[in-house]
Chains A and B, each alone.
Chain A
Amino acid sequence: MNSENEFSIVFSLNGDEIHYLGDPTRRLLNVLREDYHLTGVKEGCGEGECGACAILVDGHLYNSCLMMPYQINHKSVLTIEGFRESKRFEIISRAFEAAGAVQCGFCTPGMVMATEALLRKNPHPLRDEIARFMSGNLCRCTGYDMIIKAVMIASEAGDGLW
């Protein structure tokens, strides 16, 4: 693992075991999009402020634009593409539709991953808890009310799933 310009790691990506061998100082965001074509992971600000690149690592929320491959060595990475296959995604997806929480859609994958991370920690969050937890995900369309409502709908509709 200590060659100066090649670096190898093993990690789980949406359930598949992956061996990465390459530049250790690439942003994880670029690795996911360019090497594995996971383009649901978006680049918004590239500074960790907007959450469009949000992924789950071992179930916790991370901004992939701030990370490098060594940080996921032997860890489990879930992107929107992997999460899409789950029952919980179905609940969250329906809730976002019902609340009108998707307009242009650019922030949506990150918002959905943040919703999943929140409900894992706190299956029945209050309005303020949702706003606080999601403060690292920006949306320039909805004004957030619909997104907060979507999380509340998902929390209720998915009762027992989280």
Chain B
Amino acid sequence: MVNAFYYPRSLNDALEQLSKNEILLIAGGTDLVVKNSHWTGHMDFNKTLMPLSHLPALRGISTDDTSVTIFAATSLNTILEHQSVPDPIKQAIRSIGSESIRNLGTLGGNICNASPAGDSLPALLGYDAVLTLQSVQGKRMVKLADFIHAPGKTRIRPDELLLSVTIPKLSYDRYRFSKIGQRKGCAISKLSVFGIGRIENGLISDIRLSYGALGPVPLRITDAERFMNRKSASEVLDNWDIIENSLETQLKPIDDLRSDAAYRLEVALNLTKEFIASFTHC
């Protein structure tokens, strides 16, 4: 059977369709095609498939003094080539898939796919990314932190699409994105840890810690962040049991085919410690 398919001519055309019909949106397709393909190569989609990646209104990157806005169907490699996108975000995006996956895959796809292991998500959370959703009724803004609420589940309405992602231009002195996979290249994360922060008079300042594949949704641990701020790295390391306790209560890793909960938690703690230790040399 041939799948229903609608190729929108413009963003307005796409929004119009979304307001009237049950639609499955597809951007790069690196997740959806795999998910909906049989071993024969035949694909089955249970709703009308509507591609978005060709729409100019959904592509590109704009920037002003304080923020960078990435339109949702911009390919991951295009983002890597753009000089205004902050390096910490780029480091996370560079870890996704391979060259050919990053040519197809989009930032909006990585967000709306809402995988616990989506590798752009911890960095975007650390940056307090704000999403702009659009429907025929207009636009609304949602924080990424409020958007993904369960594996594969977001707060997008059926008549909406993700227009763009806005991140502030943070100043920072240290950042690190650590991704642990079965191998370095082209692997899905067993876990990931993102950290970014400033150093003020030798003390940790404005630190953000976020975690991927360590629970049903990517998560920031704000109470650990608050504890660390305005302390020296050595003071934080001396009180490590407090951090350990906070991470152990809030991270909810699972056993699955890629790894197990105990390993995930232990490595997340070690990587966090390593990141904090990087603040000692200042």
A interface with B by C-beta (< 8 Å): 1-2, 4-5, 7, 23-27, 29-30, 43, 46-49, 51, 54, 57, 60-63, 65-68, 70-71, 73, 114, 117-118, 131-133, 135-137
Q: Which residues in A have their C-beta under 8 angstroms from that of B97?
A: 48, 136
Is B45 among interface residues, defined by CB-CB distance under 8 A? yes
B185 contacts A132, CB within 8 Å? yes
Is B136 among interface residues, defined by CB-CB distance under 8 A? no
Q: Least Cβ distance of B180 to chain A in Å?
A: 16
Q: Which residues in B have their C-beta under 8 angstroms from that of A29?
A: 41
Total A-B residue contacts, Cβ distance less than 8 Å: 107
A29 to B29, CA, bound (A): 14
A43 contacts B41, CB within 8 Å? yes
A25 contacts B5, CB within 8 Å? yes
Question: Which single residue of chain B is at the shortest CB-CB distance from A66?
Answer: B33
Q: Least Cβ distance of A11 to chain B in Å?
A: 13
Question: Which single residue of chain A is at the shortest CB-CB distance from B43?
Answer: A25
B54 contacts A136, CB within 8 Å? no
Q: Which residues in A have their C-beta under 8 angstroms from that of B103?
A: 57, 60-62
B interface with A by C-beta (< 8 Å): 2-7, 28-30, 33-34, 37, 39, 41, 43, 45, 48-49, 51, 53-54, 77, 97-101, 103-104, 184-186
B29 contacts A136, CB within 8 Å? no
A71 contacts B53, CB within 8 Å? yes
Question: Which single residue of chain A is at the shortest CB-CB distance from B184?
Answer: A135
With contacts A7-B5, A136-B101 known, is A48 near B34, CB below 8 A? Answer: yes
With contacts A49-B186, A70-B7 known, is A61 near B29, CB below 8 A? Answer: no
A133 to B103, CA, bound (A): 12
Would you mind naming 13 contact pairs between A and B with Cβ atoms under 8 Å apart?
A: A7-B5, A25-B43, A46-B37, A46-B41, A51-B98, A60-B77, A66-B30, A70-B7, A71-B51, A73-B54, A114-B100, A135-B186, A136-B98
Q: Which residues in A have their C-beta under 8 angstroms from that of B45?
A: 25
Q: Least Cβ distance of B189 to chain A in Å?
A: 14
B104 contacts A62, CB within 8 Å? yes
With contacts A1-B7, A61-B99 known, is A67 near B104, CB below 8 A? Answer: yes
Q: Least Cβ distance of B82 to chain A in Å?
A: 16
Q: Least Cβ distance of A109 to chain B in Å?
A: 14
Q: Which residues in A have their C-beta under 8 angstroms from that of B186?
A: 49, 135-136
Q: Which residues in B have their C-beta under 8 angstroms from that of A7?
A: 5, 7
